[in-house]
């Protein structure tokens, strides 16, 4: 007898910021409006124009962390208002107000619904969900109630790409890494999951539809319309 066939993928593990929610780069216009800033004030564009964002380039090179990047941007925006912002959650809450659903990607909603309807498991694996969005955020976003598991390094202290972060998630789901599809917009986090045998999608914030379609295809489900 030959080896038993590998179990098919049956869980989707998503990063939150950039993957489920639109990035702050994509919502400059609404941020400026919410904060009373003149249109065009915010010029940093991260992955949408990396050549014009040296701080983003430093983060991608590993010189600074993602948390460092957003701490700097938070301070800069606070200073534009004559305020001192030391926490990313201040930026997010002031920029996005009380309606977080408005910045959720429709492709994310469609994918989450499809995975749930197929009876597969759903998890969020984030480095800074509560750190960036505030502890009251989850209660304002009914979409998160569909997830079987949320692991947030704000509380665990174990950040991707530390192998323990991924393994804590797969073990809690009671699945082997090869049964899980992991989606993240940061290459280092995708590489960490790859090394442990998870199926991965490098999420492209410039083309979310294609990225979610790839994830659904790995799960054997139809792509996002």
**Which residue is associated with the tokens 């999951």?**
193
Strands annotated E in the chain: 11-14, 121-126, 149-152, 180-184, 199-202
Number of domains in the chain: 2
Over range 12-20, report the average pLDDT.
96
Q: DSSP code of 104?
A: B
21 DSSP β-pair partners: 17, 104
pLDDT in tens, 32-90: 999 999 999 999 999 999 999 999 999 989 899 888 999 999 999 999 999 999 888 88
- Three-state SS for 214? helix
3-state secondary structure 54-96: HHHHHHHCCCCCHHHHHHHHHHHHHHHCCCCCCCHHHHHHHHH
- pTM, 2 dp: 0.89
Range of the domain at 214: 11-22+104-218
Name the CA dihedral angle for 49, 129, 199, 202, rounded to a multiple of 10 degrees. 0
Question: Is the pLDDT at 162 greater than 90, yes or no?
Answer: yes
Terminal Cα distance for the chain, rounded: 42
State which of 100, 127, 156 marks the end of a domain. 100
pLDDT in tens, 91-148: 988 988 657 788 899 999 999 999 999 999 999 999 989 888 877 888 888 999 999 9
Q: How much is the pLDDT for 194? A: 98
Over range 164-176, report the average pLDDT.
98
Q: DSSP code of 127?
A: S
**Which residue is associated with the tokens 């991707």?**
160
State which of 100, 129, 144 marks the end of a domain. 100
- As a whole number of angstroms, the distance between CA 172 and CA 175 comes to 8
Q: Do 79 and 91 form a contact (C-beta atoms < 8 A)?
A: no
Is 130 a domain residue?
Answer: yes
Is 209 a domain residue?
Answer: yes
For residue 131, what is the domain's CATH number? Answer: 3.40.50.1000
């Amino acid at each position: 007898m030959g080896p038993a066939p590998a179990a098919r993928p049956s869980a989707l593990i998503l990063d939150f910021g950039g993957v489920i929610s639109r990035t702050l780069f994509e919502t400059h216009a609404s941020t400026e409006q919410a904060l009373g800033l003149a249109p065009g004030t915010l010029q940093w564009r991260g992955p949408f124009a990396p050549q014009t964002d040296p701080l983003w380039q430093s983060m991608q090179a590993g010189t600074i962390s993602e948390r460092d990047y957003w701490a700097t941007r938070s301070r800069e925006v606070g200073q534009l208002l004559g305020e001192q912002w030391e926490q990313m959650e201040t930026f997010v809450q002031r920029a996005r107000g009380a309606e977080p659903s408005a910045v959720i990607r429709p492709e994310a909603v469609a994918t989450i619904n499809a995975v749930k309807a197929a009876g597969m498991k759903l998890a969020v694996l984030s480095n800074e969900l509560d750190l960036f969005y505030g502890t009251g955020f989850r209660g304002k976003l009914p979409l998160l109630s569909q997830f079987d598991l949320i692991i947030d390094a704000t509380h665990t202290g174990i950040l991707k790409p530390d192998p323990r972060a991924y393994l804590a998630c797969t073990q809690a789901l009671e699945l082997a890494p090869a049964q899980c599809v992991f989606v993240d917009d940061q290459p280092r986090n995708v590489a960490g999951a790859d090394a442990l045998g998870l199926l991965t999608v490098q999420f492209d914030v410039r083309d979310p539809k294609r990225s979610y379609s790839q994830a659904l295809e790995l799960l054997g489900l139809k792509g996002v319309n």
